[in-house]
Structure 1
């Protein structure tokens, strides 16, 4: 790549395909010279739309591969999701969007699949639109000269609600190393439909799963249940990789995190809830009074400081800032290095105020 990802770049919506009644796949072409993009299967991009004279960003996993000249994402509309509903129901082909650089630790390059008898072996598990990053991983592995042996397990309500249904069926027919397991609620017996997905399902569908790496993307509850079940079975947890999504008031499905964090901000106790605190940003000559429990990113935006709160889920790292030690509670430290944490950096979108703080951006 010869272009600079340090700031958002313009892309045009080249095509829009309806995947399910509430999900679309978008192909995004750059409005600058680029013949390919460098990123890892499983990573996400942060996408911005113009809303009320400002760019509003959300994070979406990529389903395209790095050698392609376009970027592809799948977006599912969620209740009150500002960006997701616009992209699904209003975005027109030809419109311009802004994208930030691909990022994210959940990928099959940094988290390589386990090798047994000279063959990479993996189990991919997803639910709903969590299918996007693992679908990208499957495509990548199957395109390699020595493809990985992949068991692909996806949970959905029905065939109609299954993203990439036709593509998955085609891959299962054409790729001998791709083993598809669709767990559709409307096709199960009543007792099966009530069962939670856990190690017992894995044992039934993939008898040798203990010899494989497992990659999971789906709701927080699914991730926690699966992790607990695997631990009980003495699975080697270093080979369990996960990314969860749980839409909150600022997020849309497709927003992801690779740690088990709550979408609710860490709140203050009832006794301190209304206590006033002061935020200062000396570099900008700005001061604001806030309350204990207020979200830091929200307040910095109210102060009109140049902070970019993209994913609103503690994933992308765009809102990194330095604060007074002990002045905030944080529910995520994703993307922060150990040194940055020691130096006092936090992710503003995942931090709530508990004392006076001085903020340094960047």
Structure 2
């Protein structure tokens, strides 16, 4: 039996292996593994950090990085929540073979994606799939401080059964009114009614879920494409990106120098642009922050429109030259985009652009 941490005991270091003490199913192909140091040493880390595990996969030992999903307020154990993706080796081995009593060499904890030492702000956590694991650790840490946290937590998954930590998050939210939850799924589970948000996470949903998002610090984690889309949404909405933080399981940074530069396009507030309305023979000068629809109306041209938010698709027009920065909310298909179409209400010119209007 592994002893509990003793008062004033030296903290765990990665010179000592970790022993698996719990295996808890969370969702399809998702399992939480609990570990404790055999010596009973306390485990210290910051909410959002990760561990690197050396996994004895037969014939091909591998090292894999997993975000810690437990709260740092409990030093007696540490847990990681693992999702086995198609073709995964290390994660698949853990789900199939790692059991209580087995010992694993671990390194860390490490990582700069974590809460500040005095986390007293307003937070917006946005996670997709297993990207909710560091955000769950952060939420639990804030909840267990005994103070009322101010958190809006948005969790996105393919279907309701794949919403990791849904019940745990609901439990915390039921005890702390300052924790507000929103779940988004693409598809429903058969024979199980779903009454939450459904579809592609977009700006409209963000505004409904977190009306005060401009006042919050954003922490985002999930697949690369998902985080790219979240950044595009926030940039287009005028969010202060100095308050945006993200983590990527495939390239978790341990120092500031390892954080990759995010090559995001930010329309220049004073950058000049030009829109040529080819069919009408009208040319208008504008700024890169103006939309094609707004400049068309200002030029006396009529582009049919409805929602003005990239949802309905009414303002779809064909771009014949140049580039635009378009952040839509599902009102146009990828095939239409490939064929040169844009939504005028949410497309901003980059330099000189020509449209068939």
TM surpasses 0.5 = yes
Quote how far apart the aligned CAs of 1:75 are. Answer: 0.4
Matching residue of 1:2: 10
Paired residues, number: 243
Q: TM-score, normalised by structure 1?
A: 0.62
Secondary structure of the 1:131 match is helix
Rounded Cα–Cα distance in structure 2 between residues aligned with 1:33 and 1:167: 26
Rounded Cα–Cα distance in structure 1 between residues aligned with 2:216 and 2:11: 38
Contact kept, 8 Å, 2:11 with 2:43, in 1: the verdict is no
Matching residue of 1:108: 115
Rounded Cα–Cα distance in structure 1 between residues aligned with 2:33 and 2:261: 28
Do the aligned partners of residues 149 and 172 (structure 1) sit closer, same or farther apart at CA in structure 2, a change above 3 Å counting?
same
RMSD: 2.5
Matching residue of 2:232: 228
Quote how far apart the aligned CAs of 1:8 are. Answer: 4.7
Contact kept, 8 Å, 1:142 with 1:177, in 2: the verdict is no
Contact kept, 8 Å, 1:244 with 1:256, in 2: the verdict is yes
Rounded Cα–Cα distance in structure 2 between residues aligned with 1:174 and 1:129: 24
Rounded Cα–Cα distance in structure 1 between residues aligned with 2:229 and 2:19: 40
Matching residue of 2:272: none
Determine if the alignment matches structure 1 residue 16 to structure 2 residue 20. no
Matching residue of 1:157: 158
Matching residue of 2:310: none
Rounded Cα–Cα distance in structure 2 between residues aligned with 1:99 and 1:57: 9
Rounded Cα–Cα distance in structure 2 between residues aligned with 1:89 and 1:154: 27
Q: Flag structure 2 segments of 5+ consecutive residues without an equivalent.
A: 1-8, 263-357
Select the structure with the greater relative contact order (CA < 8 A; seq sep ≥ 6): 1
Rounded Cα–Cα distance in structure 2 between residues aligned with 1:159 and 1:8: 40
Matching residue of 1:199: 203
Secondary structure of the 2:125 match is strand
Determine if the alignment matches structure 1 residue 241 to structure 2 residue 245. yes
Q: Decide which of 76, 79, 83 is 1:76's aligned counterpart.
A: 83
1:302-342: CA deviation from partner (whole Å, max 9, x where unpaired)? xxxxxxxxxxxxxxxxxxxxxxxxxxxxxxxxxxxxxxxxx
Quote how far apart the aligned CAs of 1:54 are. Answer: 7.0
1:78-157 matched pairs, under 5 angstroms: 78-109=85-116, 120-157=121-158
Quote how far apart the aligned CAs of 1:79 are. Answer: 1.9
Rounded Cα–Cα distance in structure 2 between residues aligned with 1:86 and 1:3: 29
Q: Flag structure 1 segments of 5+ consecutive residues without an equivalent.
A: 247-254, 263-362
Rounded Cα–Cα distance in structure 1 between residues aligned with 2:158 and 2:244: 25
Rounded Cα–Cα distance in structure 1 between residues aligned with 2:57 and 2:81: 21
Determine if the alignment matches structure 1 residue 180 to structure 2 residue 181. yes
1:198-277 matched pairs, under 5 angstroms: 198-245=202-249, 256=252, 259=259
Secondary structure of the 1:69 match is coil
Matching residue of 2:170: 169
Larger Rg: 2
Secondary structure of the 1:88 match is helix
Contact kept, 8 Å, 2:11 with 2:44, in 1: the verdict is no
Matching residue of 1:268: none
Determine if the alignment matches structure 1 residue 50 to structure 2 residue 66. no
Rounded Cα–Cα distance in structure 1 between residues aligned with 2:143 and 2:99: 33
Q: TM-score, normalised by structure 2?
A: 0.62
Secondary structure of the 2:17 match is strand
Matching residue of 2:43: 37
Quote how far apart the aligned CAs of 1:57 are. Answer: 1.2
Rounded Cα–Cα distance in structure 1 between residues aligned with 2:130 and 2:223: 9
Contact kept, 8 Å, 2:54 with 2:105, in 1: the verdict is yes
Secondary structure of the 2:95 match is helix
Matching residue of 2:70: 64
Contact kept, 8 Å, 1:220 with 1:245, in 2: the verdict is no
Rounded Cα–Cα distance in structure 2 between residues aligned with 1:121 and 1:4: 32
Contact kept, 8 Å, 1:9 with 1:100, in 2: the verdict is no
Quote how far apart the aligned CAs of 1:55 are. Answer: 4.7
Do the aligned partners of residues 166 and 146 (structure 1) sit closer, same or farther apart at CA in structure 2, a change above 3 Å counting?
closer
- Say which is worse superposed, 148-157 or 87-96, in terms of deviation: 87-96
